[in-house]
Amino acid sequence: MSNSAVLGAIVYEAEASWGEDVTTFATQRLNIIAAVDTSGLTHDKIDSERVVQYRNDGTRYIQGTMGGSFKTKLHWTGHGSTMVGSPTVDAAETFLALAFGSAVNLSATSSTTLTGGTAAVPTTTASGTFDAGGLCRVGVLGDGDGDGQLYSITTHTALDLTLRGALNGAPLSGAVLYPVFQIHGPEAPTTTAVTGTRFLLQTANLQYEAHGCFPTAVAIDGLNPGEVPTIEITWSVSWWRYSTATFPSAATQTGPFNAAAIAAGSLNVQDVGTTTRNARSYRNLTLNHTLGVEPLMGPGGVSANQKIVGARRTPDKIEISWTEDADAATTTPVLPGYGTGTTFKHIEFTGSTADGSAFGFSCPRVCITNIATQKADGNLNRLTITGRAHTSTTTTTELTLAAIVYGSA
């Protein structure tokens, strides 16, 4: 008997070896926001194409290999609880890191406070605890210095926290400096192996084990004011089989945390090397992060129906577009000037600002890829600009190199 298609659960576990034949899964159940859809799983049948003697004669098809894909869609929440003190990584953050290829990490092990300094180089109570190339969040909305926004860190040496883009104002003594959970992709040319993941896809009828899964696409949406940020990950499958696991699942749900709507954040766009804050009044924003992942076909699979035995990362394509109101009559409009200029930009985006629900990202080196011209948008004259994020020129660590660093706090 068929049951409701909206009921389901997804549980996962990172694999120790590609496509391993293991039936245990993590104790965490994903906090998905779209129904489990297994219609993309495939098990091919191949026409034998044998010669026959009668017009409509035929022979049995050959059983082929397994594959296909499925999607997991989640809200991109902040951490879900306070970042004051010494927070620990949540299972949802670990899961998201699998898609981009890096371990999730904190920019510092614990929060601290500011004691003064300048907007570009605040003075901290703790010494050298925040990661170069990472993210932090400063203060609370309306305080006139950090305003609860996310900031990209150039270095933290002794008590000097050098920021890529300055605070809104000189820091108040006692302002809280929050760590941020960071996710980014590998940049080294030899760091290309993909960790396989297995999933248990449960519905109110059939259930499937999917093995040797790897991310092939991410779709990050809901970044416009008033929307709720989401991330949808497409997972390709090496092999699968049916399961009779207990449903409803007893696994603990990650969170579940409510995401914050995009509001009270900021978009800072400035020339690389210039720290002066340049917050843009954007009307909408789009982030397209195209994953570069290629499957490896070959022998030696765990399943008799398995042709994919691994995957490797190739270059990603990361593009940020945003729209602003048109300038008053001038021969030097701002956004077109970004396109005709020759200077790379750095971008820091904060979507939401409250402790535990903040979300944002940072791109240290963005090349503007179009020269904006005015268009009608929502019955108003506006311009849209696009930039592509590239690897940073600071080669100290994978974090300082990262073309984009996502943050939850």
Residues 370-402: tens digit of each pLDDT: 999 999 999 999 999 999 999 999 999 999 999
* Cβ pair 285, 223 in contact under 8 A: yes
Instruction: State whether the Cα torsion 218-223-226-229 is positive or negative.
Output: positive
**Is 28 in the same domain as 150?**
no
Give me the domain span that covers residue 158.
110-183
Q: Are residues 163 and 97 in the same domain?
A: no
Same domain, 308 and 203: yes
User: Of 160, 183, 206, at which residue does a domain stop?
Assistant: 183
How far apart CA 38 and CA 14 sit, in angstroms, is 20
Rounded Cα gap, residues 220 and 243, in angstroms: 31
Other Cβ atoms closer than 10 A to 82: 12
pLDDT at residue 255, as a whole number: 74
Structural domain includes residue 352: yes
Among 121, 151, 183, the domain-final residue is 183
Residues linked to residue 135 through DSSP beta bridges, in sequence order = 152
State which residues of the chain have pLDDT below 50.
none
Report yes or no: 58 and 340 within 8 Å, Cβ to Cβ: no
Cβ neighbours, 10 Å, residue 299:
7
> Are 280 and 373 found together in one domain?
yes
pLDDT recorded at residue 307:
98
Domain total of the chain: 2
- Do residues 123 and 79 both lie within one domain? no
Q: What is the pLDDT of residue 26?
A: 82
Does 176 share its domain with 220? no
**Overall pTM > 0.75:** yes
SS3 25: coil
Task: Identify the domain boundary among 159, 183, 207.
Answer: 183
Which two tokens mark 238? 């090496």
N- to C-terminal Cα distance for the chain? 45
Q: Give the per-residue pLDDT at 191.
A: 79
CA-based nearest residue to 124, from 91, 163, 98: 163
Burial 333-342 (b: 16+ CB within 10 A, else e): bbbbebbeee
Quick one: CA torsion of 28, 32, 37, 40, rounded to 10 degrees? -80
